[in-house]
Structure 1
Amino acid sequence: MSDVSLRDAIARHGLDARKSLGQHFLLDPTICARIAALAGDLSGRHVVEIGPGPGGLTRALLATPAVQVTAVELDRRAIALLAELAAAHPGRLTVIEGDALKTDVTAMVPAPRRVIANLPYNVASPLLVGWLRQAAAIEGMTLMFQQEVAERITAAPDTPAYGRLAVLAQWRCRCDLLLRLPPGAFSPPPKVWSAVVGFVPKAEDPGEDLFRAMERMTAAAFGQRRKMLRGALKSLGDAEGLLAAAGIEGTRRAETLTVAEFDTLARELLARQAGSS
């Protein structure tokens, strides 16, 4: 379907983008095809798309060798348009009306799974953290964010953008900023640039308990990032002892720690929790 015919379908269904849902539709078929290509070879893969809206990216995904595309959409206005697309691709597109924040992608489709999406801006970060928790069961993710969020995800230590999101994402995945898009690529144009980030999960699965410990550690460390770690980590208990056991100076600040150092701290925190229970 061309850009023009897609816009006609949007008009026919009265599907205007809503700010309350963080919607900025990506309609250009060339850009959509490029994003689908950035996900790599989808042969034999089950793809989950979140927030497809009118289905610009969905059409590009259906043009790949993916076994099936499962689209999760909260906006009921888009469901009828997507149902037409599903009818045109029998057996290849499943449309689910629901809240992606309450959806388990690993229970939705069989492996191997990929998540590919132009994420709604207002829920992008919590969606990502949820998928990072399940990263061992997801083969890869190709996700669009506001450029600022994408830069926070891929930031290096000791840079202004480095924070909790960078640590959690880079701890679980190799993260690469693959593509930047100007506001004019979307309808309506957002006020900021957007960017696509590719995620390749690492082989080691830390498990739920260690993931929770890392969440607690990063929340404490970056919650008061101007403080030295010995002060910022007080809410976790014996901060001085925790830092000493991890071989990290208490006078350092969170943004100076590498992902590996946060891993050491999280493992020490988990060990102390296990020892006190």
Structure 2
Amino acid sequence: MSGPAGLPPLREVIARHGLGARKSLGQHFLLDLNLTGRIARAAPGIDRGSVIEVGPGPGGLTRALLAEGAAQVVAVEKDSRCLEALAELAAAYPGRLEVVEGDALEIDLAELGTAPRQIVSNLPYNISTALLVRWLIALAADPKAFSAMTLMFQKEVAGRLVAAPRSRDYGRLSVLTQWLCRARALFDIPPRAFTPPPKVTSTVVSIVPREEPLAPASLESLEKVTAAAFGQRRKMLRQSLKSLGNPAPWFEATGIAPTARAEELSVEDFCALADCIAGG
């Protein structure tokens, strides 16, 4: 069965270009057109601005984004083996697909394409958290850097993004993500949907940046306090925050109990502590 715009099936493209998935790059190709179409439809307003996709591989999700009406897709691919296949896809959709060869950990995605920019990607498991933190840093500097992110993570990581206080998964990534964005798990994708199948279930997450952060804080101070607090999450805050200084005045100023543990604090609580720490 032919794909969008009369393109050959993805399995044929993979075979013709020798695109066996590489473990070192965290590659697991999603070839199911129903699922790639579902991800593309979950991304809001792709008919405006640019959709940036990281790690398109042979172009399964890229095809879906273009077929669903994306005005412009900028595909960032580190694996040079995939470039020829992506070039064929670009030729099938003239003027709508730009392929950028490079490492997304080193490229400023906020400078690619045209605004509004959003990121839609089946992220490589081995760098998914590092990529997200990089994009959160960009949003801390400019809340309009990206209009939305529709991203696929290992289910365990997705759980951390949306976790509420007092839950097992609540941690640093929960606080940093929810400080800047509204995160919502959309749907799971089973291992059998991928080639080769990973050992874990994947989850697609909608991450929509807030117009302004949930509460005042500097990113640097928020990272410090969450690292200290969750680095010793079983300990009371009066102990875990000692590495940052004398925490007693911070508890007095914020009204946070020194006997509380990290998982009990809301995002706003962490921001209040971060503000105190930044103020000396």
Give how far 1:265 is off: 1.1
Distance 2:234 2:217 in 1: 28
Q: Deviations over 1:206-226 (max 9, x none)?
A: 899811111111111111111
* Partner residue in 1 for 2:228: 220
Counterpart selection for 2:88 from 84, 107, 111: 84
* Pair 1:271-2:279 in alignment: yes
Q: For residue 123 of structure 1, give the secondary structure of its aligned residue in structure 2.
A: helix
Preserved CA contact (<8 Å) 2:75 2:98: yes
- The root-mean-square deviation of aligned C-alpha atoms, in Å, is 1.8
Assess if the C-alpha contact under 8 Å between 2:153 and 2:204 holds in 1: yes
| Paired residue secondary structure (1:58) | helix
Contact 1:133 1:208 in 2 (8 A): no
Residues 76 and 97 in structure 1, CA contact (< 8 A), matched pair in contact too? yes
Go from structure 1 to structure 2 and tell me whether the alpha carbon gap of 1:116 and 1:232 turns closer, same or farther (over 3 Å shift): same
1:185 maps to which of 186, 193, 198: 193
Structure 2 counterpart of 1:116, one-letter code: V
Q: Which residue of 2 aligns with 1:36?
A: 40
Partner of 1:54: 58
User: Which digits, 9 at most, give the CA deviation of each residue in 1:82-132, with x for residues without a partner?
Assistant: 111112222110111111011111111221011000000000001101111
- The answer as to 2:103 corresponding to 1:103 is no
Deviations 1:244-276 (A, max 9, x none): 22211111100110111111111222222xxxx
CA deviations 1:8-43 (Å, max 9, x no partner) are 110111101111111110111110000000112312
What corresponds to 1:275 in structure 2?
none
Matches within 5 A, 1:34-183: 34-135=38-139, 136=143, 137-183=145-191
Paired residue for 1:239? 247
Q: Distance in 1 between matches of 2:68 and 2:33?
A: 13
- Paired with 1:45 and 1:179, the residues of 2 have a C-alpha distance of 25
Residue from 30, 53, 72 that aligns with 1:26: 30
SS at match of 2:126: helix
| Residue 200 in structure 1 maps to residue 204 in structure 2 | no
Partner of 2:15: 11
SS in 1 for 2:218: helix
Q: Is the contact made by 1:15 and 1:54 (CA closer than 8 Å) also made in structure 2? A: yes
Deviation at 1:203, TM superposition (A): 0.9
Query: Is contact 1:51-1:118 (8 Å) kept?
Result: yes
Stretch moving more, 130-139 or 161-170? 130-139
Q: Is the 8 A contact 2:217 2:275 kept in 1?
A: no
Flag the 1:45–1:139 CA change in 2: closer, same or farther, 3 A.
same
**Unmatched segments (≥5 aa) in structure 2:** none
Q: Is the 8 A contact 1:44 1:65 kept in 2?
A: no
TM-score (norm 1): 0.94
Deviation at residue 240 of structure 1 after TM alignment: 1.8
CA positional deviation for 1:64: 2.6
User: How many residues are aligned here?
Assistant: 272
The CA deviation at 1:65 is 2.8
> What is the rounded CA distance, in whole Å, between the counterparts of 1:258 and 1:156 in structure 2?
8
Gaps of 5+ in 1: 273-277
- What is the TM-score with the length of structure 2 in the denominator? 0.93
| Structure 1 contact 44–112 (Cα < 8 Å) conserved | yes
Which structure has the highest helix share of the two?
1
Within 2, Cα distance between the matches of 1:9 and 1:261? 51
Between the aligned partners of 1:195 and 1:139, the Cα distance in structure 2 is: 20
